[in-house]
Structure 1
């Protein structure tokens, strides 16, 4: 009896379970304590990045385990719940928003000494302003897994590539505060949350001043990216455009631009 139960347990561990976390996650499955994802020309560079982060002591990212017999990349599974769209309340307490900002800062500090492989290839989906680090480029609620107190992790690193700290921070602020034109997500305390995010990350005054106009430019870049990829017929971006995501990014851009003085006032009131 015990022998049969052991075989059933092993079979369950080997079964592929589709994962819905992340923004675009087609073909991503869980197998036991691992995640299998479609690999691409960028995968070796991304794995080198993730190895570096773990060697530098940054644990809020999956660890690469190579390529499986079907040519898929293998990563450690991050236990917990993806924040977006139904679990945003996980970040409601101010100290949890601050923790996200500190995780972003910890990643940026850990990646500072990373030397990409000489033949590194990156996806570089959205052209970045500046290139002082290898950035994540998609630090957002749909890519944050909240587990136990020591088990928070950013996932979906396949879009990593040259970028800047502020480029990542501007994108993260849009998603985690959030800076949204949608009445369902718009926050009356958005300016205060932006200040708290900047404080927890540790932005100085010059960086806060630079961040304000970057907030709308980074948001607009997503609208332009979806528009351009849709014009070429590229998937899954054309589907996202058809579903109205382009309108969302455009409306959020206008919302952010109209309130730049409010953001700056709050950021400078927060010190630096």
Structure 2
């Protein structure tokens, strides 16, 4: 259990965490949907700036096929640079072929993703949720055999752009299987940015109670301008890890209308005012540089 902040807000007996990890995802999730290619050199500069800002983990690239996400075609070059820097980073590996590329490049942490919504999953990877879960089994086994840290993304945890509302049972179905397969953390995605604080609190609280040993990560998009409020709601439910994107970069190619991730600088400012330690300091120059990489802001 996280230590208590003296005089901190409590909800159902849970204190707010005193320390929170912010994982900056701007190099991968932030840039993946950019229509104009960002050079590898600029991505490297962003990663270097983030590493100097104190982020313990950064999501830097994806081994998805360039046909589907051209922005990630330079994955090997980005990974080689991250290894040169000696930082801890996460790469997305949507299938076994992608995992083998990641293993050959010597990555320390990988991420897989499955939509709790069947409709979203079929639009994203042309598989049902159950088909994707079955395909994850050998991927997890191979990754664990090599001693990799595995992050498991659950997309559309609250709402789906194609299905609408997503039930707790649909989410639990994916979370339970990820836990059984040995996920080291499970990332809860408000993929199209339609969640509101009450439902975020309730779902995070239910999942924390059902899986007390599983570290959960909050991943909120700001489509409805509620991402920061949703971070706070998840904090109240006991979540102490959050994805964020410097400059608010982001968007999902398979979620029409979804805007950027919650801005890292906004999350850091809120947590600092609340007396919650993150160990990071993001200067205005880095935020400005990140925003300069986007044509969508």
Report the TM-score, using the length of structure 1 for normalisation: 0.33
* More contact order relative to length (CA 8 Å, sep ≥ 6): 2
Considering fraction of residues, name the structure with more strand.
2
Write 1 or 2 for the structure with the bigger share of helix.
Answer: 1
TM-score normalised by structure 2 residue count: 0.31
